[in-house]
Amino acid sequence: MYRTVQDWELFLGSQIKELRLRLNVSQGELALRAGIGVASVSRLEGGKGSSLATLVKVLQVLRQEDWLEQLAPAASVSPVQVHALGKPRQRARARAPIRPTGPAHGHTGAVPVSRAATTEASSKESAPPGTEDAPAGGGHAL
């Protein structure tokens, strides 16, 4: 059965109103608990347009979050799709964030030198003459 957007708004609104009345909760009390205005509850129940945030807040107060879970079932891949792919899907790797550059962000254009590079350079400068190419650990070069 095809329903228009207005049909869905009216249907959901009437379901919410019916549930609210069964729980013996006034529109004012529901609005107060949900942190929204009474007019928002009235519009939602009357099918006169509402925001998704209002719908979620009202359903949370009425303890009907399962309605939302039914609207968005967990995404899954069918066994046929897995077979067609030949191997299971893997998550994409996270990428490093892009950092702003330039003088406005404190960058002068100088290339940063790693700590390892500066330590290596300083140890070569202080090494006795003729030993700067000797391998670490006192071994002999071949």
| CA proximity to 12, closest of 85, 78, 62, 75 | 62
For the record, the structure tokens of 101 come out as 């550059």
Q: What pLDDT was estimated at residue 106?
A: 60
101-120 per-position pLDDT tens digit: 656 656 555 555 555 444 45
Q: How far is CA 120 from CA 75, 95, 98, 114, in A?
A: 52, 30, 29, 10
More confident residue, 79 or 31: 31
d(CA 63, CA 68): 11
pLDDT at 29 over 80: yes
Does residue 14 surpass a pLDDT of 90? yes
Element counts in the chain: helices (H) and strands (E): 7, 0
Predicted local confidence at residue 93, as pLDDT: 77
* 36 within a domain of the structure (yes/no): yes
Q: Give me the pLDDT at residue 3, please.
A: 87
Which of 137, 126, 11, 7 lies closest to 67, judged by CA?
11
What is the CATH number for 25? 1.10.260.40
**Residue 83 within a domain:** no
Distances (CA, A) of 7 to 4, 13, 71, 117: 5, 10, 16, 69
Range of the domain at 26: 5-69
Query: What domain count does the chain have?
Result: 1
In a domain, 106, yes or no: no
Window from 11-15, 27-31, 95-99 with minimum mean pLDDT: 95-99
What is the pLDDT, as a whole number, of residue 142? 45
Q: At what angle do helices 5-22 and 52-61 cross, to 10 degrees?
A: 20
> Domain for residue 94, yes or no?
no
pLDDT tier at 140 (50, 70, 90 boundaries)?
Answer: very low
